[in-house]
Amino acid sequence: MLWRTHLVMGLGAGYMVAGFDPVLLAVAGVGSLLPDLDHPNSWIGNKIPVLPTITRGILGHRGALHSLAATLALGLLLGLFWGKNLGIAVAAGYLAHLVGDMFTRSGVPLLWPLPIMVKLPLVRTGSILERFVVFPVMILGLVYWAVWPMVSGYVWRVIAWIG
Ligand SMILES: [Zn+2]
């Protein structure tokens, strides 16, 4: 999956667990990009020097970082040091990334260290389907589900005022 698809899914997951809390949404958004720290050529891997190369060398791309164990470890760590809500938000975003990658051909080792790649390969990363169908539909879904309830009252009022 492309980083922006992961990000939209992560924001959706963040909204699901935290509602409209800008800080927790940002944390979930960051969480949705972190699993690809195991690849130097990923979007986030390109932004951070050295670490992704080391991570890939030790764990492999779509290895331990793409697992429930990593999700739990990160969520618990952040939860312990920065509070439960932050831990839940980052874990939600992180998990959304894993769900996204499950829909690609490679899948994810969800139950790592068990060597089982969990997948339902419906979307090829960066394909026309992802770019022009999956991503826009997710944006529309997020707007309809998360943004529309907040603004609909004003929109209807303006429409009523114009009419
Ligand atoms: Zn990934």
pLDDT for res 92: 98
Q: How far is the CA of 93 from the centre of ligand 1 (A)?
A: 12
Domain ranges of the chain: 3-162
148 C-alpha to center of ligand 1: Å? 29
- The whole-chain average pLDDT of the chain stands at 94
Compute the distance from residue 35 Cα to the ligand 1 centre, in Å: 5
Return the pLDDT at 110. 96
Q: Measured in angstroms, how far is the CA atom of residue 62 from the centroid of ligand 1?
A: 6
- pLDDT tens digits, residue range 60-82? 889 999 999 999 999 999 999 99
Q: How far is the CA of 156 from the centre of ligand 1 (A)?
A: 40
Confidence at residue 93, expressed as pLDDT on a 0 to 100 scale: 98
CA of 68 to the centre of ligand 1 (A): 13
Q: Please give the pLDDT value at position 6.
A: 96
Q: What residues in the chain have per-residue pLDDT under 70? A: none
CA nearest neighbour of 47 among 60, 33, 26: 33
Going from the Cα of 103 to the center of ligand 1, the distance in angstroms, rounded, reads 11
pLDDT of residue 146: 85
pLDDT digits (tens, 9 = 90+) for 110-133: 999 999 999 999 999 999 999 999
Distance 66 CA to ligand 1 centre (A): 7
Runs of H (alpha helix) within the chain: 3-18, 22-31, 43-47, 51-59, 68-82, 84-102, 128-129, 135-142, 148-162
